[in-house]
Amino acid sequence: MLRLFALFSFCLIVLSSAAWAQSSGPAATGKVTVSGYLKDAANGEALVGATVVVKSLGVGATANEYGFYSLTLPQGTYTITYTFLGYEPQNVPLTLADNQTRSIRLKAQGVQTGEVVVTGQKPDANVRSTEMGTNRLDMKTVKLVPALLGEVDVIRSIQLLPGISTVGEGASGFNVRGGGVDQNLILLDEAPIYNASHLFGLFSTFNPDAVKDIKLVKGGIPAQYGGRLSSLLDVRMKEGNTQRLGVSGGVGLIMSRLAVEAPIVKDKGSFIVAGRRSYGDLFLKLVPDQKDNQAYFYDLSAKANYTLGEKDRLYVSGYLGRDVFAFGKAFKNTLGNRTGTVRWNHVFNSRLFANVTALASKYDYGLGVPEGNQSFEWKSNIVNYSLKADFNYYRTPQSTLNFGASAIYYTFLPGQVTPLSANSIFRPIALDNQQAVEYGAYIDNEQTFSPRLSAQYGLRLSMFDYLGGGTVYDYEGPNGRQKTPVNPRQYGSGEVIKRYPNLEPRASLRYVLTDNSSLKASYNRMVQYIHLVSNTTASSPLDVWTPSTTNIKPEHADQLAVGYFRNFQDNAYEASVEVFGKRMDNQIDYINGANTLLNKNLEAELLYGVGRAYGAEFYLKKNEGKMTGWISYTLSRSERQIDGINNGNWYVNKYDKTHYLSVVGIYTLSPRWTVSGTFNYSTGIATTFPDSRYVYQGLVIPNVNGDVRNNYRVPAYHRLDLAATREGKVDPAKRWHSSWTFSVYNAYARRNAYSIYFRQNEDNPAKTEAVRLAVFGSVLPSVSYNFNF
Amino acid sequence: MNRIATFLLAAGLLSLSSCIDVVPVEIPEGKPLLAVEGEITDQPGPYYVTLTKTAPYFDEAELPRVTGAVLTLQDSEGHLETLREVSPGRYATSTLRGKIGNQYVLTIKAEGEEYRAETEIRRTPEIDSIRAEFRAKSPTEDEGYYILYYGKETPGVGDYYRFKVIHNGRLLNQPNDLIVTNDEMVDGNYINGVELTDEEGAGGVPFKKGDKVRVEALSIPRDYFYFLNEMATQINNVGLFATPPANVRTNVRNVQPGSEKAAVGYFAGHTLRADSLVIE
């Protein structure tokens, strides 16, 4: 298999050099290439997805995620039109006799707000592109939508889109098309984020001031990406203003934010540094018996880029986020992610663009008691180092080849306990570290067959090596009960314990029906090699990632989706209907009462089975006018069948939502006032309710006949949020701009059930009751102040 | 380690305007199953087994007793005894004596079904002492007396314990008073003062000077530890990171050929060591 792998990689390299050679003599073929970068005129940010069109020929190209474009044309004289949603188009007359480099700066429209639209596409992109199951969110919209406690949040915002839900409002992570929270590949400047939440899930780790572009792909995932079953959330950080110093920030009830961006050398390089910190703990300090308690989080995002020459550009970015909770000297818990990414863009020639990335990412937590006879420190982490190379080869205007290879080295520290004082009752314990390498290589072609038919198809080859050293067991016993470890085997350091190779075909097809409608279809096979072990309703920060091992097999998913896309009234409205079906295998579940923490025989508590999810997603969006917004509705089902649970019958996943509706409206009242509202409705999460009780030593225990799983739903969830933003007076002479945002979360104060549990009455043990836990039981008003200059 | 879960839970709820209230829920009435509660210890008998039937969850009546059942208890030394029904649904031994190191099999013939439950009595450490310590108010603790445990844990991982605290003759028996633990993290160490309680005693009344406190330390089998641990999880199951509701395990198995009627509850063997004090 390794040889096959090497062969594949070799082919890619040959291909790239062939491409290089082929483009070295353009004039000989009568074809020439115009290439370059598309940037924002005001701040130099790359315009990802901007388009370059030669109207007379009906051909065009799209700028890649670094703003690079390449378009190959017959020699001649043309007018090239550069467009990007929210920007003034530019027409550039060009006489092409030889290859040319043209970097273009587009001016944003509506600059009076001082806010720059950082994401946008061709107005008819949803109909024209082969992408489906893909949602982009533009940060300007995100900032206008009502936010919890006034804090703009990337992950909460994507939950307003079809197919994306959550098990509850305090829950970390999100579920895409009936998948688990660990089945989303969350990338921040290409570095994976293993726990995307602050404060146990209330806020996401991304600082909106540092985010340039968010893309969520839930179907038709390109071959470039792999490693998770359900989705790709690609978050890209701003590059920093190449023209002038820019400062932005905000003050809210929970946290404050500040971002600074500036050129390093004008037009050559720039940086951005953005930070946030919550200050709940500062209030705690004012309360005498709370002054030793701490509860806060912060994060820092930084990025710099530098143009080394016409063909080379370097990006360095980093992220550090931390949550800290402490109760005096009695208990302390810290957790967070950190990432570092170095990227090098190289333009081999006008048609071959390459990016090489080296990155590191770590999620870790520690908790413990700092002193006393019960002092200890418990640590756990997942670390990965990764190297990858991605190439875009603009073969012809009709065909772009993307190919590349990657390797990820993982280490897992499942848990390690150390006593912190000599008199501690605890002894040191360490579970074996685990190591693994995940390889990937892919090739994919974006092909336009005719003006009507285009496709993107590719193949990803992935392989996972579970490495020693460590002890490996088999597990014996009936499914559904704790198994017994048998047959221990020792493996030396670096030895391959188990190798899993996989082929992952991907394809998307688009067929244009009319000028404003198209049909799309996609298929993708995804493989996931690392898994989050989580046996709680919402994933907890103490959950541990585990590699595929001899017992835990890689998860596979096959997804088929078909969609109809249609725009109305000159692209003022866009609408889509997508239907998907998904089959998954090697899904992980847990025996009743499983102990997932600090358990060296964790695999004795795991059960495996198959899953399926299917559904229909309806989306209608209004892009223009005083009133904008969207309605998204998802009808779906997500189930699994696992030997040892629910008597081997299919049962719905806890995150299964039959109905999921979001309505978002943004209304511009006047140049200074914007009001917005969102409404959510969803089926309650699935849970197990008892049907009987018994008493053991005076305590009432609930029981359900037949040991069924997820036989009930908590009541339906619905919520209305409102917000109003007041922009400060615009004074063209000053750069200072500010705004106030007032918001109300849970406007009609519904006590949405996060969970329903059963207990005996505190005062009368003979009496039993069902109890509702609502994360937010009341209206949450907030105000925040934002500024930039 | 349960304390960690509690801390996390507290932290998870601290900052939220969360609320908890009792709500009406419609659930069907499950069919009745045999519920077993019984134990054998290394202390002199008689030992009791109580048989009841499960009842609909919201039913407030006392559980129906299972009378007229035939129960036999056999130890690994070959002693066999049939239990007497001393009151409706309550069965007692007369001669059998529990002993550390022995295994036990309880057989129940009731309502046309036959069930078996197996258990054992494991080794136990001795209690060194228990103490009542007065603590001032702190960010994590209220002011009052805390009951602490002192004693050496037996070397060798694989011991499991339950602690019971009796305050002026009343067992602390709210759902969150159920304390079970294992020696995974403390194996063979001297336990030099670990809280078995907070400042609240039985019935939520604080411990005070002159109160009588008795602590019982039970060394329990591994499977019984899991039973009690799952039970503790299920009856204290609240918060953001609650475990999904699920049935608690049992060691009572239906051995009637062809019958799938399950039973619930536990017949457990354990040791019992106790110490008492009067708070001064």
With contacts defined as CB-CB under 8 Å, which chain B residues touch A370? none
The pLDDT score that the predictor gives to residue A560 is: 97
Q: B18 touching A, CB under 8 A? A: yes
CB contact under 8 Å between B32 and A696, yes or no, is: no
Distance (Å) from the C-alpha of residue A785 to the closest C-alpha of chain B?
22
Distance of CA A608 to the CA centre of its chain: 26
CA separation for the pair A260, A273 (Å, rounded): 5
Q: What is the secondary structure of A367-383 as a DSSP string?
A: EEE-SSTT-EEEEEEEE
Cα first-last separation, chain B: 30
Q: A772 touching B, CB under 8 A? A: yes
CA separation for the pair A226, A309 (Å, rounded): 32
DSSP bridge pairs for A622:
A573, A629
Distance of CA A55 to the CA centre of its chain: 36
Give me the residue from A293, A692, A766 closest to B54, CB to CB: A692
Question: What residues contact A262, with CB distance under 8 A and at least 6 apart?
Answer: A240, A241, A244, A245, A246, A270, A271
Distance of CA A367 to the CA centre of its chain: 27
Q: Which domains does chain A have, with CATH numbers?
A: 2-108 (2.60.40.1120), 134-788 (2.40.170.20)
CB contact under 8 Å between A295 and B15, yes or no, is: yes
> Contact B91/B85 with Cβ under 8 angstroms?
yes
3-state SS of A652-721? ECCCCCCEEEEEEEEEECCCCEEEEEEEEEECCCEECCCCEEEEECCEEEEECHHHCCCCEECCCEEEEE
CB contact under 8 Å between B240 and A374, yes or no, is: no
The pLDDT score that the predictor gives to residue A13 is: 54
CB contact under 8 Å between B8 and A333, yes or no, is: yes
Chain A, window 291-330: residues with a beta carbon less than 8 angstroms from a chain B beta carbon: 292-293, 295, 325, 327-328, 330
The pLDDT score that the predictor gives to residue A27 is: 46
Mean pLDDT of B11-17: 46
The pLDDT score that the predictor gives to residue A142 is: 87
Q: Which domains does chain B have, with CATH numbers?
A: 34-122+247-270 (2.60.40)
The pLDDT score that the predictor gives to residue A15 is: 54
φ/ψ of B247, rounded to 5, equals -65, 145
The pLDDT score that the predictor gives to residue A133 is: 80
**Residue B16: is its pLDDT beyond 50?**
no
CB contact under 8 Å between B138 and A688, yes or no, is: no
- In degrees to the nearest 10, what's the CA dihedral of A149, A150, A156, A158? 160
pLDDT means per 10 residues in chain A (789 residues)?
53 52 54 91 88 86 91 90 87 89 85 37 71 81 87 90 88 92 95 91 90 90 95 93 92 93 92 92 68 85 93 95 86 93 94 96 94 92 97 92 97 94 91 95 94 94 94 93 94 95 96 93 97 87 93 97 92 92 96 86 95 97 90 97 94 95 95 94 94 95 92 94 91 87 94 91 89 88 92
The pLDDT score that the predictor gives to residue A288 is: 65
The pLDDT score that the predictor gives to residue A201 is: 83
The pLDDT score that the predictor gives to residue B12 is: 47
The pLDDT score that the predictor gives to residue A132 is: 83
The pLDDT score that the predictor gives to residue A117 is: 35
Q: What is the secondary structure of A235-266 as a DSSP string?
A: EEE----SSS-EEEEEE-SSEEEEEEEEEEET
The pLDDT score that the predictor gives to residue B3 is: 47
A27 vs B75, which has greater pLDDT?
Answer: B75
Read off the pLDDT of residues B109-158 as tens digits, 9 standing for 90 and up.
999 999 999 999 999 999 999 999 999 987 778 899 999 999 999 999 99
Question: What residues contact A18, with CB distance under 8 A and at least 6 apart?
Answer: none
Distance (Å) from the C-alpha of residue A417 to the closest C-alpha of chain B?
8
CB contact under 8 Å between B23 and A770, yes or no, is: yes
